[in-house]
Amino acid sequence: MHETDFRSSLQTGGDRRRLKTIIVMAIVYGSTIGLHLAPWTQWMLIGLFSIQALRLIFAPPLPPISSEAIFNNDLESDLESDSEPTSDQDLPFFSLLASAKNEEAVIGNLVKNLCQIDYPSNRFEVWIVDDNSSDRTPEVLELLKQKYPQLKTLRRGDDAQGGKSGALNQVLSLTKGDLIGVFDADAHVPADVLRSLVPVFQQPKIGAVQLRKAIANASENWWTAGQSAEMALDWCLQDLRIRVGGVGELRGNGQFVRLAALKDCGGWNEQTITDDLDLTIRLHLCQWDIACLNFPAVQEEGVVTAKQLWHQRNRWAEGGFQRYLDYGNLLLSGRMGFLKTFDASLFYINQYLLTVAFIPDTIAAIVLRHNPMLPAIAGFSLALSSVTMAFGLRRAYQMSWRSAIWQTVSGMIYMLHWIPVIASVTLRMCVLPKRLKWVKTQHQGAGENLLADIELQEIENHA
């Protein structure tokens, strides 16, 4: 594909999603019925998944989570001692961004975390975009600006569009950094994060880095404990996929992007509801690599109710599926290279298409009086995920094998919620022409109560 056509496709990939979804579903239904008519194809699929499983199993071992394991991907061996920064001015400049819409409960703690990072104050800046909040977020930010001079804010108006992506694109032109960090408003950011990132970004092909994510309120209830196990699974899979030359992915909160790479792929896509997953594909298509930083981790609040989880995961599922629709032709063009294309294709099948295929598989089994073809493949995938989750829990949280296995059993039961989520999302995308409406995740917040300070200040002003 010509470079001009490629750049044009990056900007227009979001067209006709409903039609593309219908075509994908038709292919899935037809292929699943084909499994029953040609049973040998089942073994071909199992063979492909077996190859991927063996690649992951025999990937280099994960480094321990400790203060000495600053980064992964064997970057340490690639860095020359004379390339280390020798003074503050040699350190890269970071711009730390967060988009906040009605985040009065948590934005104060985020700003405090970011402004107190252990890094020269003249080598980073903090930008908070107030995305037309209707609560007291603007007042909290004004109070914070008095306390932290490095804090800068931008307020978007009523006519602002593009959601979080639009907010980030709007503030990007005001930033000075060569490296852009993005956080959610509820993030708990470790103080040494920027120093840990410096050696990773010394690798010129690294376009972005994703911090390992952890759930701050994991002990609150079964739902948050499940999310904690899910994060451990995701981190372990991410690390293994990167090590075998697969696709590293961004996860929104705690992502860092090289400015040159961000500009190369056209910035954040304002036509998606999951900016991180969309940017992941765009970066890889533009032939940048994404690294995963195991230590330190960024913490965030897990949702605490089934209803909140349903809304959040519906958004994640739709955004994740959209990116394959938007960039499917580019993914199949081979621009990412064989290993990344193979990895992305298998995970697309595993994450989305297998779930959808259970419906035609069941129908065909009843009509043709065959045994269902997919349970063997699904069982293989489930076993691999269970083992990976156990290893991830043990390494991320330094727990015993007994605790890791117990939490894995509970975590895999929790993971079953993805089945109705993905099934309903794909069906809705076939029927409805509009994308899923974004539903805000409510954050509880903890720590310093800046709203009380504002109320006290108002009392003093009126005294």
- Give the pLDDT confidence of 9-66 residue by residue, as tens digits: 666 656 788 899 999 999 999 999 988 888 788 788 888 888 888 888 888 764 443 3
CB neighbourhood size of 64 (10 A): 11
Residue burial 236-248, b: 16+ Cβ < 10 Å; e: rest: bbbbbbbbbebbb
The string of pLDDT tens digits covering residues 380-435 is 889 999 999 999 999 889 899 999 999 999 999 999 999 999 999 999 999 876 55
The string of pLDDT tens digits covering residues 408-418 is 999 999 999 99
The more confidently predicted of residues 374 and 86 is 374
The more confidently predicted of residues 227 and 17 is 227
- Structural domain range at position 268: 1-463
pLDDT at 78 over 50: no
Q: Which residue has the tokens 């990007």?
A: 172
Tell me how many domains the chain contains.
1
> Which amino acid is present at 307?
K
Spatial CA neighbour of 7 closest among 270, 264, 322, 260: 264
The residues that bridge with 255 in the sheet, in sequence order, are 182, 210
| Whole-number percent of the chain with pLDDT over 70 | 84
Question: Using CA atoms, how far apart are residues 218 and 304, in angstroms rounded to an integer?
Answer: 9
The string of pLDDT tens digits covering residues 131-164 is 888 889 999 999 999 999 889 999 998 888 888 9
DSSP letter assigned to residue 15: T
pLDDT for 377: 85
Judged by phi (left if over 0) then psi (alpha if -120 to 50, else beta), residue 392 lies in alpha
Question: Using CA atoms, how far apart are residues 276 and 281, in angstroms rounded to an integer?
Answer: 9
What average pLDDT score do residues 252-259 get? 96
The more confidently predicted of residues 42 and 450 is 42
Task: Label residue 459 by pLDDT band (50, 70, 90).
Answer: very low
The residues that bridge with 188 in the sheet, in sequence order, are 299
SS3 content of the chain, % helix, strand, coil (to 5): 55, 10, 30
pLDDT for 416: 95
Q: Which residue has the tokens 């994960």?
A: 62
Question: Using CA atoms, how far apart are residues 16 and 22, in angstroms rounded to an integer?
Answer: 10
pLDDT at 70 over 60: no
pLDDT at 443 over 80: no
What average pLDDT score do residues 158-182 get? 92
pLDDT for 57: 84
Strands 151-155 and 289-300: unpaired
pLDDT for 79: 43
pLDDT for 322: 93
CATH of the domain at 177: 3.90.550.10
Pure H helices in 286-374: 306-331, 338-348, 354-368
pLDDT for 66: 36
What average pLDDT score do residues 372-384 get? 88
Please, which residues have CB within 8 angstroms of residue 379's CB and are 6 or more apart in sequence? none
pLDDT for 75: 42
